[in-house]
């Protein structure tokens, strides 16, 4: 069903579809069934994500408990009409903490992805467009960051900077920009040889304008697709930092610290650990489906 031109217009205007067509010829042998199937992936992902974000945003309307109010008379209770998912070791309602935890994890995850996205896109564009020593310096910086295992550098940076939201943003930016820089650079290396860029250069447009108005709209889609799975990685990092006690400080409800607190009661109350993890998996599923759907819109006929 997806016309490649429509697929191309998923990008911003400015020669996008034409450039896209000349580089990736549409695969006419693709059966229709496949593209029909692919649209629902995007829709399913959007549905899951919107529902979860909605539940987090409207948490105060969905539950009347306070996520951090302790009730030491009602600790470690099983699910009941009053407490849908039971209570934790301090008598706090688990369902409420799950909803409010989503507020924290989703907010931090979505904000955290913006900084590396912007930084990586800018540095990747500069490297791809100008080449030479600019590219050399930027790509050697990429090599250095990539040499550190993701979690090792994140944990080390947050430790040094001190736990909390600000440190998480800094750490994720320092570690995360390299993927965007690599993606954007690779796309620009191809795109800058296209006629529309040569035409813009011949027309005397400034480099900044060519990069911002002509190249970027055509190369950014790969980064947007990657950002979907990157948000999942960021949320996982935040949750993992919470597990190590380096994330959002207690008593704020947060999925990672919920899993960590439930750890002591694994043998008797396994649900305390399991449920927040399932929430993370569902968020990951929703965002991955959106990413896959976008990827297929962008590259019709490929799997």
Partner 1 sequence: MSFVGRRLLQLVPVAVGVTIVVFFMIHLIPGDPALTILGIHATPKSIAILRHEWGLNRPLISQYWLFLDRLLHGNLGQSLIYNVPASTLILQRLPATIWLIVYAAVIAILISVPLAMIAATRKDGIRDQVVRAVPLLGLGMPTFWVGFLLLTLFGANLRWFPVGGYGTGLVGHLHYMFLPALTVAIALAPVVIRSLRASMLTVLGADYITTARSKGVPGLRLFVRHVLRNAVIPAITVLGINIGFLIGGTVIIENVFAIPGIGQLMINSIFQRDFPVVQGVTLVFAVMVVLVNLLADMTYASLDPRVSFDR
Does 62 participate in binding partner 1 (rule CB under 8 A)? no
Give the shortest CB-289-to-partner 1 separation in angstroms.
Answer: 6
For partner 1, which is the closer residue by CB, 110 or 244? 244
Runs of H (alpha helix) within 131-245: 132-147, 150-161, 165-191, 195-202, 207-209, 216-243
- Listed in sequence order, the residues at least 6 apart from 264 whose beta carbon sits closer than 8 Å to its beta carbon are 89
Among 256, 293, 300, 301, binds partner 1 (CB under 8 A): 256
For partner 1, which is the closer residue by CB, 6 or 137? 137
Per-residue contact flags (x/-) with partner 1 for residues 264 to 293, judged by CB under 8 A: --xx--x--xx-xx--xxxxxx-xxx--x-
Spatial separation of the C-alpha atoms in residues 253 and 274, rounded to whole Å: 15
Give the shortest CB-280-to-partner 1 separation in angstroms.
Answer: 6
Burial (0-12, 13-18, 19+ Cβ within 10 Å), 10: middle
Does 134 participate in binding partner 1 (rule CB under 8 A)? no
Among 71, 159, 201, 217, binds partner 1 (CB under 8 A): 159
Element (H, E) at 45: helix 32-57
Per-residue contact flags (x/-) with partner 1 for residues 26 to 45, judged by CB under 8 A: --------x-----------
- Listed in sequence order, the residues at least 6 apart from 87 whose beta carbon sits closer than 8 Å to its beta carbon are 71, 74, 75, 76, 77, 93, 94
Q: Between the CA of residue 233 and those of 87, 202, 247, what are the distances in Å?
A: 29, 42, 15
The contact set with partner 1 (CB under 8 A) reads 34, 140-141, 143-153, 155-157, 159-162, 229, 232, 236, 239-240, 243-244, 246, 256, 259, 263, 266-267, 270, 273-274, 276-277, 280-285, 287-289, 292, 303
């Amino acid at each position: 069903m997806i016309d490649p031109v429509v697929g191309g217009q998923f990008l911003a205007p400015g020669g996008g579809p034409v450039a896209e067509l000349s580089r990736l010829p549409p695969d006419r042998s693709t059966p229709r069934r496949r593209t029909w199937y692919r649209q629902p992936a995007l829709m399913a992902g959007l549905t899951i994500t919107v529902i979860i974000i909605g539940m987090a945003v409207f948490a105060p309307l969905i539950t009347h408990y306070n996520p951090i109010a302790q009730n030491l008379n009602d600790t470690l209770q099983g699910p009941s009409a009053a407490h849908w998912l039971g209570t934790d070791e301090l008598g706090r309602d688990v369902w409420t903490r799950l909803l409010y935890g989503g507020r924290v994890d989703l907010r931090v995850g979505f904000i955290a992805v913006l900084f590396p996205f912007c930084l990586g896109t800018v540095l990747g564009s500069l490297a791809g467009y100008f080449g030479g020593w600019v590219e050399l310096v930027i790509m050697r910086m990429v090599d250095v960051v990539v040499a550190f295992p993701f979690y090792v550098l994140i944990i080390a940076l947050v430790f040094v900077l001190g736990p909390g939201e600000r440190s998480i943003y800094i750490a994720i930016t320092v570690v995360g920009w390299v993927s965007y820089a690599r993606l954007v650079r690779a796309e620009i290396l191809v795109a800058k040889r296209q006629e529309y860029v040569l035409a813009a250069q011949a027309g005397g447009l400034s480099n900044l304008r060519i990069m911002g108005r002509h190249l970027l709209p055509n190369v950014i889609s790969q980064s947007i697709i990657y950002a979907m799975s990157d948000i999942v990685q960021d949320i996982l990092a935040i949750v993992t930092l919470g597990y190590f006690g380096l994330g959002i400080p207690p008593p704020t409800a947060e999925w990672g610290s919920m899993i960590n607190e439930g750890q002591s009661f694994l043998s008797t109350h396994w649900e305390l650990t399991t449920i927040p993890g399932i929430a993370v998996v569902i968020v990951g599923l929703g965002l991955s489906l959106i990413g896959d759907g976008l990827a297929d819109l962008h590259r019709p006929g490929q799997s």
